[in-house]
A and B are shown apart, each in its own frame.
Chain A
């Protein structure tokens, strides 16, 4: 296995981008990443694209080839990766494995979703296909309902409060206000969250990530070649992935995502570090409760103490472990296939010291955590500036 570096990143703005198509978005992100890396298209010998449901969102499958075509890179092998909301994180891992193995030398990883070409009910129904259609959705369990079931149980077992959940959204909106690419750039208060319309008790509208359009791309190459392109080299030091039951009810404990625990153990072991060595992390906060669960399952806090940590400000940009400096899925937006790749881009910016007003001081090691469905798949990556 070869060491692998991230040498370029590219992001579109996230939001309701009615003037931009699926092709426009992914091409824009890809070109920005190529320019950031300072490479030429000719050097690219592999493409991986994360997309959850182009088929339902824009009526187009076969997006691996489409992306190569749109980018003017026909001939280059191009693979689409699907794992619901973790499609981007898994595409990144596939690309990493391809470069580490020596099969490819210069790979573009893209993530994209164009979600606002369909009416919002169809977008919601499409997102719900990440759940177990036959044994959850059929009975009327919506996608937010699954995270609401987790939240109710977390409140019961660990005393997590409604206000603590709201504080996750407040923090992430404050971070999003500092991110020029974020879908939402306005600060909100705990009261705003508590007074927003109910979606699935105990979750309200401002506990949920939005339906967004957007794309992200990053460029990977062997570490030994990276210095030809950049002097701010970010190395991938850990990569982990795990799966779990599709339905929440098939698990012994719904307050822990076993996939997060297993994927992060794999990544920590490879990186030879512990959770306390992480300086900054982007975690999968599709709902406020999901961020609390993630910070516990990744080992930043003991089980049941994630909610108190938010309340105490430990996860703010100046806290002991800054979480979701980008604004997270909550405020930056959640174009599902793009999310896992956009998380990598944010961590690379942090490690290069390019995160502007969101910059975490002296960040050297960062982590990304991308979840599919209600935890049935998970990808964790650890990056270090060298």
Chain B
């Protein structure tokens, strides 16, 4: 479909992060970042070469959310779907789809956990892209 999704290499590059929720931790100030960063915005120069891989546990809480009713072609089949910013227990926030949840039930503060799913399919190349989504933690 659109011109900006046809380069497969850019999706290969992100696989470790999107499949395994691997971010980075600054060796100087120990702040955890997700998505990964090459430089710590706090420590800047003194963080160079000290950013280490850091696997996040994939648990957190809904910080804010929306329910999408108008979406690009690649997501049209999923309408209406929930997009949220999740605050992970380790500190960073991520943007993600929330699944296994009735859009009427979504709430700020709701505990969620990671779920590995198909994110989108490229109609032209047939390529399927996977990554993380989040779902409510059942009590």
Query: Using a CB–CB distance below 8 Å, which chain A residues touch chain B?
Result: 56, 121-122, 124-125, 128-129, 133-136, 138-142, 144-145, 148-153, 156, 197-203, 247-250, 254
Q: Which residues of A contact B63 (CB under 8 A)?
A: 153
The verdict on B47 contacting chain A, using a C-beta distance below 8 Å, is no
Residues of chain B within 8 A of A145, CB atoms compared: 66, 68, 83
Contacts A/B (CB < 8 Å), 8 sampled: A125-B72, A140-B83, A149-B83, A149-B84, A152-B108, A200-B83, A248-B95, A249-B93
Interface size class of B (residues with CB under 8 A): 35 or more
Query: Which residue of the partner chain A has the closest CB to B84?
Result: A149
- Interface flag for B94 (CB, 8 Å): yes
The complex places the Cα of A250 from the Cα of B96 at a distance, in Å, of: 13
- Assuming A149-B64, A149-B95, what are 17 further A-B pairs, CB within 8 angstroms? A124-B72, A139-B95, A139-B96, A139-B97, A139-B133, A140-B83, A140-B97, A142-B68, A142-B70, A149-B66, A197-B69, A198-B67, A200-B66, A200-B67, A247-B95, A249-B94, A249-B95
Distance of A128 Cα from B120 Cα, bound (Å)? 16
Alpha-carbon distance A247/B41, docked complex (angstroms): 14
Interface hits, B49-75 → A, CB 8 Å: 63-73, 75
Nearest-neighbour CB distance to chain A for B22, whole angstroms, equals 14
B-chain residues with CB within 8 Å of residue A248 when the two chains form the complex: 85, 95
Chain A residues within 8 Å of B108, by CB: 152-153, 156
Bound Cα distance A97, B117 (Å):
49
Verify if B78 is at the interface (C-beta below 8 Å from A). Answer: yes
- Complex: how many Å from CA A134 to CA B4? 11
Contacts of B129 in A (CB 8 A): 138
Name the residue among A152, A199, A247, A249 with the largest chain B CB count within 10 angstroms.
A249
Quote the shortest CB–CB distance from B98 to chain A (angstroms): 11
A256: min CB distance to chain B, Å: 14
**Given A121-B73, A140-B75, A140-B97, A134-B66 contact (CB < 8 Å):** no
Measured CA separation A153–B63 after assembly (Å)? 8
Least Cβ–Cβ distance between A314 and chain B, in angstroms: 27
Q: Given contacts A128-B72, A139-B131, is CB(A122)–CB(B65) below 8 Å?
A: no
Residue among B66, B72, B129 with the highest chain A CB neighbour number at 10 A? B66
Residue of A125, A134, A140, A249 with highest tally of chain B CB at under 10 A: A140
Check if B10 is an interface residue, CB within 8 A of chain A: yes
B35 interface residue per 8 A CB criterion: yes
Are A135 and B85 touching (Cβ within 8 A)?
Answer: no
> Is the C-beta of B2 less than 8 angstroms from some C-beta in chain A?
yes
Q: Least Cβ distance of B90 to chain A in Å?
A: 14
Smallest CB-CB separation from B71: which chain A residue? Answer: A142
Q: Nearest 7 pairs between A and B by C-beta?
A: A148-B66, A201-B67, A153-B64, A249-B93, A198-B69, A140-B75, A200-B66
> Which of A56, A139, A248, A254 counts the most chain B CB atoms within 10 A?
A139
Closest chain A residue, CB of each to CB of B66: A148
Which chain B residues lie closer than 8 Å to A135 at the CB level? 35, 94-95
| B14 beta carbon closer than 8 Å to chain A | yes
Q: Which residues of chain A are within 8 angstroms of B3 by Cβ–Cβ distance? A: 56
B-chain residues with CB within 8 Å of residue A142 when the two chains form the complex: 68, 70-72
Q: In the docked arrangement, what's the CA distance between A136 and B94, Å?
A: 8
**Chain B residues with Cβ under 8 A from A198's Cβ?**
67, 69, 80
Docked-complex contact A249 and B68, CB < 8 angstroms: no
- Which residue on B lies nearest to A245, using beta carbons? B41
Tell me which residues across on chain B come within 8 A of A156, comparing CB atoms: 64, 108
Beyond A140-B83, A141-B83, whether A199 also contacts B69 by CB under 8 A is yes
Q: How far is the CA of A129 from the CA of B35 in the complex (A)?
A: 18
Nearest CB on B from A290, distance (A): 14
- Which residues from chain B contact A152 at a C-beta distance below 8 Å? 64-66, 108
A122 to B68, CA, bound (A): 18
Shortest CB–CB separation between residue B117 and chain A, in angstroms? 10
Per-residue interface assignment for chain B, residues 82 to 125, with 1 indicating a CB less than 8 Å from any chain A CB and 0 otherwise: 01110000001111110000010000100000000001100000
Taken together as a complex, chains A and B put the C-alpha atoms of A156 and B65 apart, in Å, by 11
Assess the B2–A140 pair: CB atoms within 8 A.
Answer: no
